[in-house]
Amino acid sequence: MKKVKLIYNPFSGNNKIINQIDTIIEVYQKHGYQLIPFRISYEATLEDAFTDLNDEGWDHLLLAGGDGSVSDSINMMKKMKIDLPVGILPTGTANDFAKCIGIPSTIREACEQIITSESKKIDLGYVNGKFFINVLSFGLFTEVSQNTPTNLKNTMGKLAYYINGIKELPKFKKLKIFVEGNEYFYVGDAFLVFIFNGKTAGNINIAYKAELDDGMLDVIIIKADLVHTAKSFFNFLIRNHLEDSDNGISYFRTNSVRIDCAEELRTDIDGEKGPEFPLHITCKEHSLNILGYRKVEPKQIDKFLENLRSSLPKKTK
């Protein structure tokens, strides 16, 4: 039998994985795999989970958890020079990356899709010695995930983020930033900055032009210009903000960018604490073999918004 290691965080996503272990084993055994679970705990660390994965006989790696847990596992993989295809089961509170690669939210369907798929090479972001799968961010709301207690995340899910985010609003000040890409330069004030490898943050399709296999990162700067940013809000609602990115929102694509910030604040990588400034960010093209990838088809709301965008008058230069 082909061996697959399942690495899971039992506390992720309100313990969702606990009730799904038998389903996962059932599906994998049906397809002729021997599934070997590894439970992350204080006694059995993430590094322990990877110690035998360079041995022969492993078919692929199955990671169960949210964006943060998956990102940690990918970093450990890279650190230990393990090159196995990876499947992702979305069992965390935030599962933006799993949605981006088209993984079903139902665990049985996700397992079937992973097992019956061909592996696909996708990009990863890399900043100051650490990989990220979905997004690096800083500014307004980006510390919310880090500051939200785990027990609140597990009991209230995404609502916990929103509640904690509202509490952060009165404390926030604009940031003085320096951004230098291959063909882009910006020095000025900002409220919020995203560097996307994926497309969504908080289940909102912010970087809707991003692709996971193009060797590029999508950088979005929400400027601290209240008048222009407010004008851009309508474009944001109809997902047209990347087409009109010369006022309150700046958008560019690059394979390398350097960012610094005058203020002391934390950055966020995939919902977890990120590195300190200055940031040296690159795209590591085709550096992860992913299983279960499926192009996400536009939903009805996306089709409606696309029609609405196309009906808007074009800007004249």
Handedness of CA 38, 42, 43, 48 (dihedral sign): positive
Burial 145-183, CB ≥16 within 10 A → b, else e: beebeeeebbebeeebbeebbeeeeeeeebbebebebee
For the chain, 317 residues long, give each residue's pLDDT as a single digit of tens: 899 999 998 887 778 899 999 999 999 999 999 999 999 988 889 999 999 998 889 999 999 999 999 999 999 999 999 999 999 999 988 899 999 999 999 999 999 999 999 999 999 999 999 999 999 999 876 665 556 555 545 444 444 554 555 555 556 678 999 999 998 999 999 988 999 999 998 788 889 999 999 999 999 998 887 666 666 666 666 666 677 655 688 999 999 999 999 988 889 999 899 999 999 999 999 999 999 999 877 654 455 445 545 555 555 54
Cβ(71)–Cβ(63) below 8 Å: no
Between the CA of residue 194 and those of 18, 93, 179, what are the distances in Å? Answer: 33, 20, 12
Cα dihedral 254→194→114→24 (10° resolution): 160
Predicted TM-score (pTM) of this structure: 0.86
Euclidean distance between CA atoms 42 and 314, whole angstroms = 57
pLDDT at 60: 98
Euclidean distance between CA atoms 143 and 161, whole angstroms = 10
pLDDT at 287: 98
Assign 3-state DSSP to the chain and report helix, strand, coil percentages, each to 5: 30, 30, 40
Euclidean distance between CA atoms 135 and 268, whole angstroms = 8
| Residue 111, both tokens | 């397992």
Tell me phi and psi for residue 54, to 5 degrees: -85, -5
pLDDT at 317: 46
Euclidean distance between CA atoms 21 and 18, whole angstroms = 6
pLDDT at 223: 87
pLDDT at 300: 44
Instruction: Please report how many Cα atoms fall inside a 13 Å half-sphere around the Cα of residue 59, on the Cβ side.
Output: 21
Domain definitions of the chain by residue range: 2-119, 130-285
What does CATH list as the number for 2-119? 3.40.50.10330
pLDDT at 77: 97
Classify domain 130-285 by CATH architecture. Sandwich (2.60)
